[in-house]
Chains A and B, each alone.
Chain A
């Protein structure tokens, strides 16, 4: 079967064939499906960039490892039903690993399917620490970041560097409230205090000035934005307008490079945020960025989720090569076990490891956004304020409540 036709069939999915009629290619070609958001709010930090970085990992590693790998892609449109339909069909039709999957609800659904079908799920795009906590799975690995890492990297480090009193503007849904709760515990552990918070309805709020005035009236030193995407951008623009940026330090608890780029340095300057990857960290990250940038959408620099896809796929390929591709195709959990047994090392994150609960460990960096004067050119946005070591950056395994590590029969 010629590749274009197979491609079409994979896309047609539901209409294509019964599960029995597998599309397994001749020999053992590994299939990697990038399931991501190409039309919704997360398309810039994930989207086509994730596909490009996955292809880069294949280009960098498949040849030397002697593997034949095919990469396909789809848009889950941020809908759990669409996402899980595609995941089911992909797995049934011979896709061995699914990569990225932003939006927690879709990621949790895909994780369940991967486990049911004993395939591999390499998550980079979704934030929830649940994926390696109560909902952990022997078939799922979580790369790049999670809510706990963001909370710790920001909460503890900012408080330690003098931001002792906080006020939160929080999106009133699970992500926002969990983030606020986690950050609060780190602030208090460092001797700081939370002076107040306001929870606003998500996603209907565009004007935050009212909440910002309440924040200002609290006389807190730090304004924590426990929200994401457009909401964070609006908060930052309006905080600058109302002069909050002069009296408070702005902290974005979930910000990505693409969002800083969209806001522009004039609005985003001096903002504090935590990420696990920045293209200008060291020679290896710069080399990685230089390789992928020409093919990134709008020639953007890769962000943390993109780098996570690269790193995860690279490590997956190494493990699959070690096991032999024909074994890797049959037993997803065995590949994951192998991935956990080998140390990770790649240009994006440097050396690290994959923990038993599926959490990938690497350092977390607290960055401050540069002022327009400090920036030397496009995409020169961050300066490092503090770095949390890999072993400290993520939630200790015992606290996560992952059944995989609790040992048999409690």
Chain B
């Protein structure tokens, strides 16, 4: 096999693939953030905590109700989504008329509360969650040993992203959504219940985060701080992509996953900072982000 920049080609392919898997999580999370931001103009700082809740709910469903991974994949986003709806109705909705920064501060506080409660209840060492038997095992790709579950994560993430995009671009409810992002008052005047639309959007965005959390549960240790580590990176991803387009945030998510993966091979010490460096460069060249509108 040939070497590419001194790294054996098989190893490099393997790393690209792994980068894509991380990118799947970035894409799912930044997608949820972008959907919420587009509609509510709120940056959901509790997104990381809600991602963590998804993983914990999956664990609880198994522990207390005996419901397996497949049930969790449907029920956890639903439950966490309902929780999101309650948050939106009782708190976030009161802030729409104020400066958007208040939304950020409120969700930051909510994130602290959620994380703190889970830490009190379940400790900080993390909980075990098994890969479902149908997805355990691995494929031998010749150049690497690819766990089936990782392939599943990428596939599901891509399907979810495309699905979300289709709902927003091609369905009636999606057109209402896009319209009220442009001009909520006008859409309201046409007799569409905009506040309810906003509530549902927040619920859906939160459910997406929880869905990503369930996907993450079997491969990352389920612990209360699993979301806060991720959320700052996802913020950077969102800044790089710009919040203008749904597709933009998805492509940026996957792309940055790959860039990060390559950094892990060539200069692992910088793999945490590379996304921030990319962010700085993008801001200098295109302040609105790669896909954003100024």
Contacts and interface: CB of A to CB of B under 8 A. Distances in A.
Interface in A228-265: 229-230, 233-234, 237-238, 241-243, 258-259, 261-264
Interface size class, chain A: 35 or more
Nearest to A235: B221
B130 A234 contact: no
Contacts of B138: 242-243
A243 B137 CA distance: 9
B131 A261 contact: no
A242 B147 contact: yes
A24 interface: no
A230 B147 contact: no
A331 interface: no
Nearest to A45: B125
A213 B270 contact: no
A395 B246 CA distance: 58
Given A201-B272, A211-B268, A234-B221, A41 B229 contact: no
A217 B11 contact: yes
Contacts of B268: 198-201, 211
Given A206-B220, A234-B221, A211 B264 contact: yes
Contacts of A258: 123, 125
B8 interface: yes
Nearest to A172: B269
Interface residues of B, number: 42
B229 A200 contact: no
Interface in A187-219: 198-201, 203-207, 209-211, 213-214, 216-217
A213 B221 contact: no
A29 B103 CA distance: 52
B271 interface: yes
Contacts of A351: none
B128 interface: yes
A214 B127 CA distance: 27
By Cβ-Cβ distance, the 3 closest A-B pairs, closest first, are A201-B272, A262-B125, A264-B128
Given A207-B219, A262-B126, 17 more contacts: A39-B116, A200-B271, A201-B268, A201-B272, A204-B233, A210-B264, A210-B265, A211-B268, A213-B15, A213-B18, A229-B125, A230-B225, A237-B128, A241-B219, A243-B138, A258-B125, A262-B128
